[in-house]
């Protein structure tokens, strides 16, 4: 069976452009060889990086070729021969790929300088055009990359001209139905190429490239055209607009005062060396469970009458329990990010969409000799979680692809209790390496689509209550399994929610969406029950944990050790508005209005006019916290290793 000319044209063009993108990747690879320790990095890992690169190259190539392919395949089906159409398509392909190759060429010196793939940030020099041009002229290495680019462009033009054969194009007789079938097949494959992945939950993301613990090989797998477009789209997204709420210096001064930060030895304005009164030679293991949607309002301890969380309620009575604990935002990505890296949510911003390195829990424990593993029930690429976590100290990511396919029940992957049971042998393997471990779990059952396994029999009839019962039972099952293992006695378990649920709506911002349990359970390490009544936030989890394990570190976050310091206010983010709370007042700050409530008794009276100074102080604190984080991002002070 013969393949029609237009399908051959598309396939041959694909092969050429993928080869050229790979050639630029090879050049980048050889200019950065000193970043690879060949004693630690296997040949297969390097090959995987190039395979990953082909995946990203196919995405860009499919975007550029899809419309030409559609036109050519329709033309073939209707048996139309038009030289003008062929010329337009030829120059469409040549010009767009030429721009792509130019970006790939410019990416090499850009990466050599900044250790980042080409992005919209490369155009920040436009306001200093003369200076940058003179700098390029005076640096010979920039001309060196022009040589292979010009050579590749010439080869590309010649090969593309030969493929098209505009003057000698001869039709091939082929069955109409076969032609239609092949055309649809090619277009379907190209559509998959555009998505970059066959998983339904998320298309290919920058984080998809982060497959190993070698930062260079992770970034090598990216396509610079992809990173440029992605960064441009992120900049246009209103959710990623930079905030400008309060003067930078005032914000930093306020935060240093509220957090008692006196250190000036680091470039970061909030970094401070924490040295415990005494240190422990035996480092405890750490298990952090981030529970999907587990509002404190679902617990009997906080007034729920349905007995949905008997395990969490009982656990809260034999642990360190934080009564007034709040999440940073209302999205799962907020919960993961703030729990691990101790910075607040910034309105609608997605903190993990861009791979930025933080001095957080995982990287700090990794530097202290811990192994680090993250477990999720579903696709690890969703919300760019895997890529972000791998760049921030996580060595292992266990997700849907690691589980048996028959255990995947919904779009959210496997059930909670299966993830927990599956993880026990994995943790045992980590324990056998004679290193302490950090294991972080993100549950998912308490989120639609709901799935309750047949082997669990809930008492409730309403599915939303049934799933809470199941989630609680899964936690109980996990702790029972852990208690049978050797490492249990030397392990600290932390339970927190990613966010709560909007179960009550007394105020414009529903507090039940942010009020969550925070439990620290370690029966052989913490022998007494402690109830913490002061305010606490997700951003305090990491510093509080470090205080318990008694290891020195540099706290370059906006969190505090709740067991040794007192937080005056917590801030919660409802996307377009923020809330600031202390033990008595709840201040809601919008673009124009400020409201102040005495929330403990669900009082709906607005006390702003009576307590103007209080409301303004709370507002200033919330804005100072957010502005400090924003300015640290802008100034590259998030990771003090880069500035120290």
Say yes or no to pLDDT of 118 above 90.
Answer: no
Q: How far is CA 635 from CA 95, 241, 567, 619, 629, in A?
A: 37, 16, 26, 24, 10
CA gap 377, 365 in Å, rounded: 24
pLDDT (average), residues 202-229:
85
Greater confidence, 195 or 170?
A: 195
**pLDDT tens digits for 243-253?**
889 999 999 99
The whole-number pLDDT of residue 449 equals 85
Here the contacts of 594-600 (C-beta below 8 Å, separation 24 or greater) are 594/619, 595/508, 597/507, 599/506, 599/507, 599/511
The whole-number pLDDT of residue 412 equals 87
**pLDDT tens digits for 395-411?**
999 999 999 999 999 88
Q: How far is CA 390 from CA 231, 238, 356, in A?
A: 19, 27, 11
Residue by residue, DSSP assigns 428-471 as HHHHTTTS-EEEEEE--SSSSSP---TT---S-SSHHHHHHHHH
Q: How many helices (H) and strands (E) does the chain have?
A: 18, 14
pLDDT (average), residues 13-29:
93
Boundaries of every domain in the chain = 5-236, 239-642
| Mean pLDDT, the chain, integer | 88
Maximal C-alpha separation, the chain: 87
Say yes or no to pLDDT of 222 above 60.
Answer: yes
Among 103-107, 182-186, 238-242, 373-377, which is the least confidently predicted range?
A: 238-242
Say yes or no to pLDDT of 569 above 60.
Answer: yes
CATH topology of domain 239-642: Alkaline Phosphatase, subunit A (3.40.720)
Full-model pTM? 0.76
Reported confidence tier of residue 31, pLDDT bands at 50, 70, 90: confident
Say yes or no to pLDDT of 324 above 90.
Answer: yes
**pLDDT tens digits for 467-489?**
999 999 999 999 999 999 999 99
The number of C-alpha atoms within 13 Å of 55 and in the hemisphere containing its C-beta is 22
The whole-number pLDDT of residue 38 equals 86
């Amino acid at each position: 069976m013969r393949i029609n000319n237009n399908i051959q044209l598309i396939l041959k063009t694909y092969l050429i452009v993928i080869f050229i993108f790979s050639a630029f990747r090879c050049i980048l690879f050889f200019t950065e060889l000193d970043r690879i320790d060949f004693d630690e990095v296997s040949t297969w890992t390097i090959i995987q990086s190039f395979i990953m690169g082909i995946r990203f190259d196919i995405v860009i190539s499919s975007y550029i070729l899809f419309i030409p392919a559609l036109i050519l395949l329709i033309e073939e089906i209707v048996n139309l021969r038009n030289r003008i159409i062929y010329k337009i398509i030829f120059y469409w392909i040549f010009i767009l790929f030429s721009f792509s190759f130019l970006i790939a060429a410019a990416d090499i010196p850009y990466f050599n300088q900044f250790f980042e793939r080409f992005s919209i940030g490369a155009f920040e020099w436009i306001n200093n055009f003369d200076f940058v041009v003179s700098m390029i002229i005076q640096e010979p290495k920039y001309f060196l990359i022009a040589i292979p680019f010009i050579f590749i462009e010439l080869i590309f033009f010649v090969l593309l001209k030969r493929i098209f054969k505009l003057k000698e194009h001869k039709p091939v007789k082929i069955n109409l139905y076969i032609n239609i079938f092949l055309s649809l097949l090619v277009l379907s494959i190209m559509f998959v190429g555009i998505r970059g992945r066959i998983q339904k939950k998320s298309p290919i993301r920058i984080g998809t490239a982060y497959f190993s613990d070698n930062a260079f090989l992770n970034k090598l797998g990216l396509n610079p055209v992809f990173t440029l477009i992605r960064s441009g789209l992120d900049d246009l997204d209103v959710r990623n607009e930079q905030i400008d709420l309060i003067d930078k210096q005032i914000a930093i001064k306020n935060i240093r005062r509220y957090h008692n930060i006196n250190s000036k030895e680091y470039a970061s304005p909030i970094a401070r060396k924490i040295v415990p009164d005494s240190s422990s030679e035996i480092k405890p293991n750490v298990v952090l469970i981030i529970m999907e949607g587990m509002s404190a309002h679902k617990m009997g301890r906080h007034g729920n009458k349905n007995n949905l969380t008997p395990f969490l309620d009982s656990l809260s009575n034999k642990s360190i329990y934080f009564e007034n604990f709040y999440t940073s935002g209302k999205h799962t990505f907020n919960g993961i990010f703030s729990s691990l890296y101790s910075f607040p949510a910034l309105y609608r911003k997605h903190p993990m969409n861009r791979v930025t390195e933080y001095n957080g829990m995982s990287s700090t424990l990794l530097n202290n000799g811990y192994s680090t593993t993250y477990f999720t029930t579903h696709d690890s690429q969703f919300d760019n979680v895997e890529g972000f976590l791998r760049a921030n100290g996580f060595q292992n990511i266990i997700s849907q692809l690691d589980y048996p396919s028959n255990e995947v029940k919904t779009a959210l992957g496997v059930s909670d209790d299966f993830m927990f049971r599956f993880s026990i042998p994995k943790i045992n393997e980590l324990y056998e390496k004679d290193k302490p471990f950090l294991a972080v779990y993100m549950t998912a059952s308490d989120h639609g689509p709901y799935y309750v396994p047949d082997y669990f029999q809930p008492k409730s009839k309403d599915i939303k209550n049934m799933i809470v019962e199941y989630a609680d039972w899964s936690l109980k099952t996990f702790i029972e399994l852990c208690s049978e293992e050797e490492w249990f006695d030397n392990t600290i378990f932390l339970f927190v929610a990613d966010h709560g649920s909007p179960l009550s709506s007394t105020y414009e911002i529903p507090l039940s969406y942010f009020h969550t349990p925070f439990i620290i359970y370690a029966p052989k390490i913490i022998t007494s029950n402690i109830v913490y009544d002061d305010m606490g936030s997700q951003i305090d989890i990491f510093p509080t944990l470090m205080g318990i394990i008694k290891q020195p570190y540099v706290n370059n976050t906006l969190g505090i050790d709740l067991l040794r310091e007192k937080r005056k206010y917590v801030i919660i983010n409802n996307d377009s508005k923020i809330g600031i709370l202390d033990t008595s007042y709840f201040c809601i700050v919008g673009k124009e209005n400020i409201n102040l409530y005495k929330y403990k008794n669900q009082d709906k009276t607005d006390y702003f006019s009576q307590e103007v100074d209080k409301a303004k102080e709370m507002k200033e604190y919330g804005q100072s916290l957010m502005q400090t984080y924003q300015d640290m991002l802008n100034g590259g002070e998030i990771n003090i290793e880069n500035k120290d």
